[in-house]
Structure 1
């Protein structure tokens, strides 16, 4: 009767090497290359007997181990410079692979733990959500006295006084003058109906504020644009005389 041997499945040649190092309990920085190579070759031979389609990566690693083994068995030349260990590159690959494998195990454990977590939407009844704890006024006002209330009131008033700017508060109240261009044009149209000829300077002197002067000036320009008035000035810096057009100067009956 044939003896069937079931080999452990490895993800790659580095995985197999780590398994052999852990099995022999050897230091990864000081690999016994002769012994590990022999065990690796035995495993490769068994793999070939069971499955001829052996992954080429395992065969490449076998060749690499044999190369390292031959270089270590050859006598070293005595030179002043220290020769690099032939196992250094292999050790570096094994360390990187071991780190990635540990990270993969950690991620797998987290995935397993995450499958045990369930998310539940809040299902609090409306009555419970709107519930407010009743306030006992007697207990709330137990320690309240007139003296304490007076102290709280003075503290609040003091904070209000501290918010007032001592300089700006003396400026008084600043109010915005509302002067409408439409209202000013209506006023000038009525003024034109009763005055055929009038002074522009005299018109501005009757205004009570700077804003009214500006709006009045804009109204005059607008009336000139619509052809209701025209102006005249004989010399520079002389007073501007405003004339009403004939059809606009008639006072209605």
Structure 2
């Protein structure tokens, strides 16, 4: 049963009351909004009011309240597209949610719910599949050949690390030798070198000590012996 208003000035649907007031056929000041609200509350107590009817009532009641506020307080500035319209939009959205919830409830109670399963994505893992004519022995030879080709790269890293350590050790040896002796000839120091790398390491150690002003080196002429002595302050 739909709600109808019963006032001294009007009797009928609430929407019709709003249309009469907006058309200035019925003064809003003669309508008691409190009685309108009270009547709707009694209607709710007596009947099972659906959510959409409640939403419609709130929309109309909000508009009536705004119209009466303008009539009673003309100095109050209220935009025609203000809170009343926003509330109406929110109530309509609320009604949509209510309708959707009822639809979902009906589906659930019908026990005819079917959801399609998502397509399973098969991830192909990469794997090495040699030709059937390739034997394990051939694969072994291929891998051994590859490892031999990589040996120089690993050897280079080990040699670089060894040279770094040797430079530090050779700097210590050279510093100790200068403390014990007044001077040292570079050719004598590298006379027992096992390889060219040792000679280069010794020369780098000498340059680093010269940079730190721990020793100084003098060479009279090109290709003459390099004489190393303790640096003077």
Pairwise TM-score range, normalised by the shorter structure? 0.3 to 0.5
What TM-score results when the alignment is normalised by the length of structure 1? Answer: 0.33
* Structure-2-length-normalised TM-score: 0.35
